[in-house]
């Protein structure tokens, strides 16, 4: 079907494990070969065979304004022309840091990293350093990047591979990670009663078992429990930050974490991450206070900072209203009696179950074989979706009514085809 893509992917597999640079990109869960993408423009991507797709992956979240947005590309090019990296403070960082601190309610100081993984790694180190405790609590189905402490009941790629816990994670490390069911604040309270816990880390809207919104009272319950037991509450806003609201999920749900991790959207498609929070914690990040170790040769890279600023800088309340409206329109169009469509703003998932999905156990009841057939049918009709049931997909400001209508029409035909 895609002769050049097939050949190119075979070539990729000769030199790279699975032909990918990140496990979630492999088409294992849905079957077939991935199209090899060459061009992105607005809401569309084109593969090397010349096929055009409406993109709902959007680089797994970062491209909130779409592909190759002119002023973002210009900002990157103009910055690059003056030097790609200095390993020293530049004004690009300060500008982006000011936007983060201004918009994200709980963040008073912020440190930039190269990825979301680096941000979550550092955030728990800070929490452990400041509290003097070692255990952390995470939720089944939440993904916080690929650092050892988080590869326990992690979502997305690990889930789809049917191997939630990775070989290579020392048992001694895994032992320090306690796991609770998502949307179950009472389970967390029980854990915090029984253990000395440094931090509870949570995706305020889960995206990595598919889109699972927080139940009413869940985040507030975590905030209250963490405060009572002296644990640090970390909101992992790598997806939700600058995505579900201008100030992220903490603004939308009015929950003040101690630390926040960010990534994806704040780099506008370049490699980036960040962690930040209250002074009480952040003033112990090296070189300050207790000097909790953290560093990175390319951290705060000028190109990433410029791309991030150009991407999130212009996002005003109007932009979030537009994202909500586009998200609502698409989700309405995707509704079907045999499916559950879950959405927060412009992030959503079509679950192949007729029941609500509140946690990992619910998500695992989905008909993943039917999802795989749907995914292939959608791809043939020019809709590019994440190749797993356990992922969220994203609408950007570049998605026009015509793009969304194309997705909805493809969906109706695909459901008719797969039965």
Ligand X SMILES: *Cc1c(COP(=O)(O)O)cnc(C)c1O
Residues near ligand X, by CB under 6 A:
115-117, 120, 143-145, 203, 207-208, 236, 238-239, 263, 273
Shortest Cβ distance from residue 163 to ligand X (Å)? 19
- The distance of closest approach from Cβ of residue 118 to ligand X in the complex, given in angstroms and rounded to an integer, is 7
Tell me whether residue 206 or residue 415 sits nearer to ligand X (CB atom).
206
Nearer to ligand X, 59 or 90 (CB): 59
Cβ distance to ligand X smaller for residue 76 or 347: 347
Between 145 and 213, CB nearer to ligand X: 145
Q: How far is the CB of 266 from ligand X (least distance, A)?
A: 10
Give me the least distance between CB of 196 and ligand X, in Å please: 25
Burial, 228: exposed, middle or buried (Cβ in 10 Å; 0-12, 13-18, 19+)? exposed
- Smallest CA-to-CA distance from 254 within 303, 294, 204, 292 is with 204
Structure tokens at 202: 């949570």
Closest CB to ligand X among residues 357, 404: 357
Choice between 120 and 340, CB closer to ligand X: 120
In whole angstroms, how close is the CB of 145 to ligand X at the nearest point? 3
**3-class secondary structure per residue, the chain:** CCHHHHHHHHHHHHHCHHHCCCHHHCCCCCCCCCCCEEEEEECEEEECCCCEEEECCHHHCCCCCCECCHHHHHHHHHHHCCCCCCCCCCHHHHHHHHHHHHHCCCCCEEEEECCHHHHHHHHHHHHHHHHCCCEEEEECCCCCCCCHHHCCCCCHHHHHCCCCCCCCCCHHHHCCEEEECCCCHHHHHHHHHHCCEEEEEECCCECECECECCCCCHHHHHHHHHHHHCCEEEEECCCCCCCCCCCCHHHHCCCCCCEEEEEHHHHCCCCCEEEEECHHHHCCECCCCCCECCCCCCCCCHHHHHHHHHHHCCCCHHHHHHHHHHHHHHHHHHCCCCCEEEEECCEEEEECCCCCCCCHHHHCCCCHHHHHHHHHHHHHCCEECCCCCCCCEECCCCCCHHHHHHHHHHHHHHHHHHC
CB of 120 to ligand X, least distance (A): 6
Q: How far is the CB of 248 from ligand X (least distance, A)?
A: 12
Q: Given the structure tokens 């065979």, which residue do they identify?
A: 49
Identity of the residue, 5 or 157, whose beta carbon is nearer to ligand X in the bound complex: 157
- Sequence-distant (6+) residues with CB within 8 A of 138 are 144, 150, 152, 153, 177, 178, 179, 180, 200, 201, 202
Tokens 């000028």 -> residue: 302
Measured at CB, which residue is nearest to ligand X?
A: 116
CB-wise, 165 or 196, nearer to ligand X? 165
Tell the smallest beta-carbon distance from residue 236 to ligand X (Å). 5
Q: Among residues 303 and 377, whose Cβ is nearest to ligand X?
A: 303
Cβ-based nearer residue to ligand X, 346 or 414: 346
Tell me the two tokens of residue 305: 């900072």
Write down the least CB distance from residue 205 to ligand X, Å.
9
Q: What's the min distance (Å) between Cβ of 128 and ligand X?
A: 18
Taking the C-alpha atoms of residue 169 and residue 380, their distance in angstroms, rounded to an integer, is 38
**Cβ nearer to ligand X, comparing 34 with 263:** 263
Q: How far apart are CB 238 and ligand X at their closest, in Å?
A: 4
């Amino acid at each position: 079907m895609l002769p050049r893509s097939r050949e190119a992917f075979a070539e990729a597999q000769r030199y790279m494990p699975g032909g990918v640079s990140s496990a979630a990109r492999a088409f294992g869960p849905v079957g077939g070969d991935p199209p090899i993408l060459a061009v992105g423009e607005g809401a569309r991507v084109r593969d090397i065979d010349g096929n055009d797709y409406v993109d709902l992956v959007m680089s797994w979240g970062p491209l909130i304004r779409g592909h190759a947005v002119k002023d973002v590309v210009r900002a990157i090019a103009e910055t690059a022309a003056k030097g790609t990296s200095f390993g020293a403070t530049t004004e690009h960082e300060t500008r982006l840091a000011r936007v983060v601190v201004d918009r994200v309610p709980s963040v008073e100081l912020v440190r930039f990293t190269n990825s979301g993984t680096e941000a979550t790694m550092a955030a728990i180190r800070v929490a452990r350093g400041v509290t003097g405790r070692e255990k952390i609590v995470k939720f089944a189905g939440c993904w916080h990047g690929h650092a050892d402490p988080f590869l326990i009941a992690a979502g997305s790629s690990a889930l789809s591979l049917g191997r939630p816990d990775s070989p290579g994670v020392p048992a001694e490390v895994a032992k320090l990670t306690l796991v609770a069911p998502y949307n179950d604040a009472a389970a967390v309270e029980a854990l915090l009663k029984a253990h000395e816990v440094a931090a509870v880390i949570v995706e305020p809207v889960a995206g990595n078992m598919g889109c699972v919104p927080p139940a009413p009272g869940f985040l507030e319950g975590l905030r209250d429990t963490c405060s009572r037991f002296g644990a640090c509450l970390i909101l992992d806003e790598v997806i939700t930050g600058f995505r579900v609201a201008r100030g992220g999920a903490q603004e939308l749900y009015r929950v003040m974490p101690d630390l926040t991790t960010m990534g994806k959207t704040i780099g506008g498609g370049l490699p980036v991450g960040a962690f930040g929070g209250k002074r009480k914690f952040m003033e112990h990040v090296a070189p300050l206070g207790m000097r909790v170790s953290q560093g990175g040769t390319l951290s705060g890279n000028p190109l990433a900072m410029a791309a991030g600023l150009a991407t999130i800088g212009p996002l005003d309340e109007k932009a979030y209203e537009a994202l909500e409206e586009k998200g609502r329109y698409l989700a309405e169009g995707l509704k079907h009696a045999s499916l559950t469509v879950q959405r927060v703003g412009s992030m959503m998932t079509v679950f192949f179950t007729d029941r609500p999905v509140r946690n990992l156990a619910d998500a695992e009841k989905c008909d993943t074989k039917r999802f795989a057939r749907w995914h292939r049918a959608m791809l043939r009709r020019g809709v590019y979706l994440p190749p797993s049931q356990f992922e969220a997909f994203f609408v950007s400001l570049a998605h026009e009514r015509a793009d969304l209508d194309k997705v909805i029409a493809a969906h109706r035909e695909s459901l008719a085809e797969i039965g």
